[in-house]
Every structure is written in structure tokens, then in C-alpha cells.
Structure 1
Amino acid sequence: MNPDDPLLAILACPLDKGPLSLLPDEGGQALYNPRLRLSYPIVDGIPQLLPSSGRKADAEAHDRYLTHLKASAA
């Protein structure tokens, strides 16, 4: 999945229904919800958007993700 993928505009967090951001992850890519600090993995190009798939980001990871999002927005 790439940042220009039109699918990103319609994907939403399964819990709060808000937008998700594409991030690099340790194992590839992930979709991130900064409001709930949840990361959803992308496996073989398929977003895993079940509520049980969300991984809670600790404070350090959350700050790193926000820094990455700001850098990629610039």
C-alpha cells in the first residue's frame, strides 16, 4: 500500500470510525489511529481492521508515529 492509494481515503478505524494514517511498521506497514493510539497491521497488502487486530502504541511509539506523520505531511 502506498500513501497515494485512494483506498486510504475510505478506510476507517473499526472502533471510532475515524481516519487512519499509513505508517511503516516493524514488520512492514500499518494503519494508525492516533486518537486511540491503535495500530492495525497490513498483511500481504490487506489491512487487518478487526477491533481485535489493533495493537496499543506506548507513549514512545506514539510520539515516533506522530513525528513520522508530520514529516510525511510536509
Structure 2
Amino acid sequence: AKTPLSLSEDPHRLGRPQGFVSPVHRYTRSAGAGFTVAYLGAIELMPGLPTRPAAEQLDVDADGRIVGLT
């Protein structure tokens, strides 16, 4: 996760600057998705999805009615 303005973590070095080192502030492992995120600076994250999707609670009964919606 980094600024969208630059390949580096510095928003003033636009585009694809040469010869930079990116200090990693922390890592987060998304094991279910199969990837690791390296945080290069301050960033706001969107909330994640629930562990169990709501679609797993839906079903159709023998009469064809959808059940599990509340």
C-alpha cells in the first residue's frame, strides 16, 4: 500500500523515479486471499469483508421461496 501518485512512497516524486529506497512501516498477511501487503506510509484502508459471506445463509425452499433473508 502506497501513494497512487508515485511508485515510491514519496508523493512528490511522481511516476516511476529511479534510485529510491522504500521504508516499510509494517506488513499485513491476507492468508485467505494469498498475499502480503507492505505498508510504505500513512494510508486509509477500506473495511474488509466478513469471514462468512451473507450469501451462505441464503437458500431456496421446496416451494421456490428464498429463505435466510432477514
Range of TM-score over shorter length: under 0.3
TM-score (norm 1): 0.23
TM-score (norm 2): 0.24
Bigger radius of gyration, 1 or 2? 2
Structure with a larger share of its residues in helix: 1
Structure with a larger share of its residues in strand: 1
